């Protein structure tokens, strides 16, 4: 049956792991999109199109194994590798998070252009699958920087569809975006403008996108007072004027799910284990993928500066740093992961003593332990260089038992909503971050609980279900 609502993303809601007996174990993932989609219910005729990412996934596609409502695409592994590792994660992610060390990088040469061809093929595979599966006039919501060309390609194949695209990352300022070769920048923006509606996590990222359209395409966005901002431009397909609407949807934390999940027995067990390590000391918590943009190394340097400049905290605080390996196919991520471990050892060797380990680093992904740390947190440290939103900043105040102080980078999307009640830091300023940690640790418990309450209520203003339904409604009302 053709689908009425379609979602497309690189990583889907399920992955397959081969069992010893040769069968495949389907593991369901979490995240905002999974909870968001659950809001429309199983009978809404929704289909999630995603990529096969592992050998287990590819085997599932070969055997015709699938979950209801999910279609996995087995795109040639070399094409996927070039599109995902080469373009999406090493170029587009770097551009939007401004991660290049610019004297040497980026280099846009023949190899880059070869990978861009793979990125095109990979986007085309998605566009074709969506075109085949969508019912007449169906709504399609395409996710993220992996699939920027899909809206334009899909419009050519199926002009009847309502096409949306949502960016979960920041959008690069136009001066930075202009590093991309002109023809690539244009192709990317025009690909996105193939959508009827583009969604962003904050106004800041939306404005940056509009600016890029001005600089690279010469089309200006408008911000009418009482209707949605939009960009009028020429359609590549028909040569006619087309309008793409823009909207902001700041994904919030899922309070109901988190509060229930954080009080199950497995979380209690992990809390007991962590408490043994912490004793009655104060706790600074951070939980991230080991991701360059998360700024874990400067976070550790700031903690070291705190211990150096405020000896009164030595032996009185433990930093729980959970840094879960990510994108380990890329050497720069492996090096960063190693640096996080090295610096942790260095701080522990410098300041640790019998019965006190200053930094407790955990690298195996364990959601129950992350929630246990959230509950124990006196201070949450969220200091990314740049971040589309950052849900950890929103989740810790919702879950923490006694209320936590939040040290928050002004470059995280979440800062737009939480800044007023957080302690704001410039993520590059290590001394400033150390001072903010000191302020957070010293905060009067009543003030801390009060601020945490405000943070939790701002953090849950747009739960995933509403975040998704709002986008769908906006698309259908066009």
Interface with ligand G6P by CB under 6 A: which residues?
Answer: 11, 144, 168-169, 326-327
Please say whether the beta carbons of 151 and 194 come within 8 A. Answer: yes
Determine the Cα–Cα distance for residues 113 and 111; give it in Å rounded to an integer: 5
Determine the Cα–Cα distance for residues 470 and 39; give it in Å rounded to an integer: 11
Nearer to ligand G6P, 144 or 417 (CB): 144
Residue among 122, 118, 1, 139 nearest 50 (CA): 122
What the block records as the tokens of 39 is 């809001």
Min dist. Cβ of residue 57 to ligand G6P (A):
13
Min dist. Cβ of residue 31 to ligand G6P (A):
8
Nearer to ligand G6P, 84 or 351 (CB): 84
Distant-in-sequence, close-in-space partners of 161: CB < 8 Å, separation ≥ 6: 130, 134, 137, 138, 139, 140, 154, 155
Nearer to ligand G6P, 334 or 476 (CB): 334
Determine the Cα–Cα distance for residues 409 and 298; give it in Å rounded to an integer: 12
Nearer to ligand G6P, 11 or 124 (CB): 11
Min dist. Cβ of residue 11 to ligand G6P (A):
4
User: Nearest residue by C-beta to ligand G6P?
Assistant: 168
Q: Please give the span between the terminal C-alpha atoms of the chain, in angstroms, as a whole number.
A: 24
Residue 167 in 3-state DSSP? coil
Min dist. Cβ of residue 12 to ligand G6P (A):
10
Q: Which residues of 212-250 are buried (b: 16+ CB within 10 A; e: fewer)?
A: bbeebbebebeeeeeeebbbebebeeeeeebebbbbbbb
Query: What does the DSSP assignment read for 375-431?
Result: HH-SEEEE--SSBS--HHHHHHHHH-SS--EEEEETTBTTHHHHGGGSEEE-TT-HH
Min dist. Cβ of residue 419 to ligand G6P (A):
21
Nearer to ligand G6P, 168 or 438 (CB): 168
Determine the Cα–Cα distance for residues 222 and 285; give it in Å rounded to an integer: 42
Nearer to ligand G6P, 169 or 471 (CB): 169
Min dist. Cβ of residue 468 to ligand G6P (A):
15
Min dist. Cβ of residue 245 to ligand G6P (A):
22
Strands, E assignment, 185-303: 197-200, 221-222, 230-234, 241-248, 282-289
Nearer to ligand G6P, 283 or 383 (CB): 383
Determine the Cα–Cα distance for residues 321 and 350; give it in Å rounded to an integer: 17
Min dist. Cβ of residue 429 to ligand G6P (A):
25
Nearer to ligand G6P, 89 or 460 (CB): 89
Min dist. Cβ of residue 89 to ligand G6P (A):
6
Please say whether the beta carbons of 472 and 141 come within 8 A. Answer: yes
Min dist. Cβ of residue 92 to ligand G6P (A):
10
Residue 47 forms beta bridges with which residues?
6
Nearer to ligand G6P, 34 or 318 (CB): 34
Min dist. Cβ of residue 33 to ligand G6P (A):
9
∠ Cα 16 21 24 (to 5°): 15
Determine the Cα–Cα distance for residues 162 and 264; give it in Å rounded to an integer: 41
Determine the Cα–Cα distance for residues 427 and 409; give it in Å rounded to an integer: 6
∠ Cα 194 469 368 (to 5°): 110
Nearer to ligand G6P, 66 or 326 (CB): 326
């Amino acid at each position: 049956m053709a689908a009425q609502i379609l979602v497309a993303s690189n990583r889907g809601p399920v992955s397959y792991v081969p069992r010893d007996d040769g069968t495949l174990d389907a593991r369901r993932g979490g995240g905002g999109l999974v909870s968001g989609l659950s809001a429309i219910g199983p009978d809404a005729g929704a289909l999630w199109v995603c990529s096969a990412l592992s050998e287990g996934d590819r085997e599932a596609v070969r055997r015709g194994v699938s979950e209801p409502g999910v279609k996995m695409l087995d795109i040639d592994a070399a094409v996927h590798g070039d599109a995902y590792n080469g373009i999406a994660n090493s170029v587009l992610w770097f551009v939007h998070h401004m991660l290049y060390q610019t004297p040497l990088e980026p280099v846009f040469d023949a190899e880059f252009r070869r990978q861009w061809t793979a990125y095109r093929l990979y986007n085309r595979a998605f566009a074709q699958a969506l075109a085949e599966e969508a019912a007449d006039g169906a709504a399609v919501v395409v996710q993220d920087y992996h699939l920027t060309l899909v809206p334009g390609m899909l419009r050519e194949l199926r002009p009847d569809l309502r096409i949306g695209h949502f960016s979960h990352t920041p959008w690069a300022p136009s001066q930075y975006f202009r590093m991309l070769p002109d023809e690539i920048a244009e192709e990317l923006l025009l690909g996105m403008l193939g959508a009827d509606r583009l969604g962003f996590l904050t106004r800041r990222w939306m404005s940056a996108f509009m600016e890029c359209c001005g600089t690279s395409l010469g089309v200006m966005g408008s911000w009418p007072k009482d209707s949605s901002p939009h960009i009028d431009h020429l359609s590549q397909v028909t040569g006619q004027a087309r309008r793409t609407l823009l909207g902001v949807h700041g994904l919030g934390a899922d309070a109901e799910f988190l509060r229930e999940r954080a009080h199950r027995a497995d979380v209690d067990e992990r809390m007991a284990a962590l408490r043994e390590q912490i004793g009655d000391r104060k706790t600074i918590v951070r939980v991230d993928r080991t991701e360059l943009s998360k700024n874990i190394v400067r976070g550790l340097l700031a903690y070291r500066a705190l211990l150096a400049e405020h000896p009164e905290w030595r032996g009185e605080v433990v930093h729980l740093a959970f840094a879960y390996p990510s994108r380990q196919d890329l050497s720069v991520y492996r090096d960063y992961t190693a640096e996080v471990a090295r610096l942790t050892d260095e701080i522990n060797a410098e300041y640790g003593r019998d019965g006190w380990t200053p930094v407790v680093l955990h690298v195996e992904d364990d959601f129950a332990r992350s929630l246990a740390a959230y509950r124990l947190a006196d201070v949450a440290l969220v200091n990314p260089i740049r971040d589309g939103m950052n849900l950890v900043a929103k989740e810790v105040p919702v879950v923490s038992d006694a209320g936590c102080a939040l040290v928050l980078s002004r470059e995280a999307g979440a800062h737009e909503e939480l800044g007023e009640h957080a302690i704001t830091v410039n993520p590059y300023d290590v001394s400033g971050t150390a001072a903010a940690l000191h302020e957070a640790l010293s905060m009067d418990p009543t003030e801390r609980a009060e601020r945490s309450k405000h943070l939790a209520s701002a953090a849950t203003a747009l739960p995933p279900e509403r975040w998704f339904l709002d986008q769908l409604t906006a698309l259908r009302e066009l």
